[in-house]
Chains A and B, each alone.
Chain A
């Protein structure tokens, strides 16, 4: 089944001098359900713009964005670069904020909170306020919050880029475990080629502005993977050269 379809999507922003700034240029791709796809692009290309279009936070200037099968509405959610938690609510209340906003029936709240906090390894921390947690733990809460509404598609916008490398490695490996249990479709945006290679089944490489897809690579490495696997390192070198205009 197809989870996300982009057909000739373009995005322009009007500028103060009257001209149009072309950010996205004729982007087309499809992703299958339960797939883990990374979008790798240089800083400042239209990666976040692309995610906003898919999340429905913004509309394309041309082309179509189709989420799921046309006859069934599909739930899309977002994990941001920063945790974006409500500091004045406990971890549990942060999850409930999302559940209630998404109209999940109240009897299900407690079991979902339990389940998804334990999935990210934070069962003990439901009653803590975010400010007493470390950066990595906060990002785990953000992942649990996104998972808890049980969406079909999760969009992740460089969620580990502000963490130190050791914490980021831990979270990447945990994310893969969770994804294998939950089987959601994940679209993961990053500027880190090794991260893209390690996490994904497939990597789309984007060019600089005006952004288009320059390379579409599958990652034929068995799971579980090691981040230091020579095949992955080799692949990430190829991805980097594709980023720089090779192919």
Chain B
């Protein structure tokens, strides 16, 4: 949806012109990662060597964390907090967002709290939940729930409002009935919004969890990043952050993008060609 491979890069880099189209995406992904690593190494060697460690020691530390298993212990704690909070938020937001899109009384009732919720800083939510619920697991779940819910509701609310009323009328003419309309018209219209909500909701969730862990818990990625910070180990901070980022990228590419490709098959099938 937001990305596609129709960009014609071969005009700029002639040697890529011969590559099959499906590889284009991966070639450019590779270039992107390569540029990132190159910039990092150049900065570490010559520009800010005292602030930025080289790739070598950081990747060695990343591997050590994985090999010893300590990374996975804390990853499990963080992911549990992210997913419990996120699923609670998702479970409430889907019906609420849909009802907001269908009934304008509910829309007016909930609109302002949602918009306030979207603009509240994550740090404030983290501090307040720690004050209210103490240094406990529940604090992480509640803070994810509070931060992610408004954002997910917003997506479903807008998605429901964008359902094509003409298709509903078509369904009515053919006497489809509500269960069939829900399955064939409403749900397929909402799927792209469901994926967008999952993507942004998860991103928000893990950011708040890391803050809560840093401020008030004794396990998790955020706690370990803070630990390394207390030791003033830049290598440690970077190794934990990068390892966790890689896991989140795996979720994005392995789960969300795969789902996205499946549900938008009808879109990519056409290749943008139109017959006369």
Interfacial residues, chain A to chain B (CB-CB below 8 A): 55, 57, 77-78, 80, 82, 84, 86-90, 97-98, 100-102, 129-134, 137, 149
Contact = CB atoms under 8 A, between A and B. Distances in A.
B267 interface: yes
B167 A84 contact: yes
A84 B174 contact: no
B2 interface: no
A107 B169 CA distance: 27
B141 to A, nearest CB: 35
Interface string B247-268: 0000000000000000100110
B275 A133 contact: yes
Interface stretch (B11-19, B44-52, B177-185): B177-185
Contact of B174 (A87, A97, A130, A137): A97
A84 B166 contact: yes
Contact of B275 (A78, A101, A129, A134): A134
B contact patch SS:
helix
Given A86-B185, A88-B188, A132 B270 contact: yes
B6 to A, nearest CB: 15
Interface of B: 166-167, 169-177, 180, 184-185, 188, 263, 266-267, 269-271, 273-276
Contacts of B166: 80, 82, 84
A78 B175 CA distance: 12
Contact of B173 (A57, A87, A129): A57
Contacts of B170: 78, 80, 84
A127 to B, nearest CB: 10
Contacts, number: 64
A133 B274 CA distance: 6
A101 B175 contact: yes
A105 B23 CA distance: 47
A101 B176 contact: yes
Contacts of A82: 166
Counting chain B CB atoms within 10 Å of each CB, the highest count among A77, A86, A134, A149 belongs to A86
Given A133-B275, A137-B275, A86 B173 contact: no
A149 B167 contact: no
A129 B185 contact: no
Contacts of B263: 88
A102 B171 CA distance: 10
A102 B275 contact: no
Contacts of B173: 55, 57, 77-78
18 contacts: A78-B170, A80-B170, A84-B167, A84-B169, A84-B170, A86-B184, A88-B188, A89-B266, A97-B174, A98-B174, A101-B171, A101-B174, A101-B180, A131-B266, A131-B267, A132-B273, A137-B275, A149-B174
B168 to A, nearest CB: 10
Contact of A102 (B175, B266, B269, B270): B175
A130 B173 CA distance: 20
A57 B174 contact: no
Nearest to B275: A134
Nearest to B276: A134
